[in-house]
Amino acid sequence: MKEIGERLKETRESMGISIEEAAEDLKIRPAQLENIEEGNKEAFKDVFYLKFFIRDYAKYLGLNYEEMVEEFNEFLFDYTSKISLDDIRKANKKQNKTKKIASPYTLEGKNQKSIPPFIIYILIFIVVCIIAYCIVLLATSKDDNGKNDIIKGENIYELT
């Protein structure tokens, strides 16, 4: 990781670009670029973001970004392969012990109560039928003389 950062820093300095200018162009904080150049991966919460920052920074500097990403992947593989299984198990236990946050947007599957779609379709069909029946009833209503009245706006037209 240190080698990647040093290569990025050397390239940036040889081009005469300040860290602030590069950070502004890449839309990231100058401290993040400094951490990349120093090889400080602990400054990043997620290594995937770090990987994308390295890729974008290498592109920006005109370096072979695919090669830089591949080198970072090799570093990451070497780093993670040195983590003991006990440390991984401890991390899993800590993660499993954390309390889940209750939110209406993250309901468990068995707690959700939903209406099956076919019932909703039946209800929509019934409502449409009732509305159609009311329209037909109004359109064919008869007055006291037995004539059909058709109501349009404010006018009533008699059919003979």
Query: Structural domains in the chain?
Result: 2-84 (1.10.260.40), 117-159 (no CATH)
- Helices within the chain (DSSP H only): 2-15, 19-26, 30-38, 47-61, 65-81, 85-97, 117-139
**pLDDT tens-digit series, residues 18-72:** 989 888 888 988 898 888 888 888 888 877 788 888 888 888 888 888 888 888 8
Q: Which two tokens stand for residue 96?
A: 């499993």
Q: How far is CA 146 from CA 133, 137, 149, in A?
A: 20, 15, 9
Model confidence at 132, in pLDDT bands (50, 70, 90)? very high
**125 against 98, higher pLDDT:** 125
Q: Closest by alpha carbon to 33, among 10, 14, 8? A: 8
pLDDT value, residue 102: 59
Q: Closest by alpha carbon to 35, among 5, 75, 72, 79? A: 5
**pLDDT of 15 higher than 80:** yes
**pLDDT tens-digit series, residues 113-122:** 678 888 999 9
Q: Which two tokens stand for residue 15?
A: 């081009």
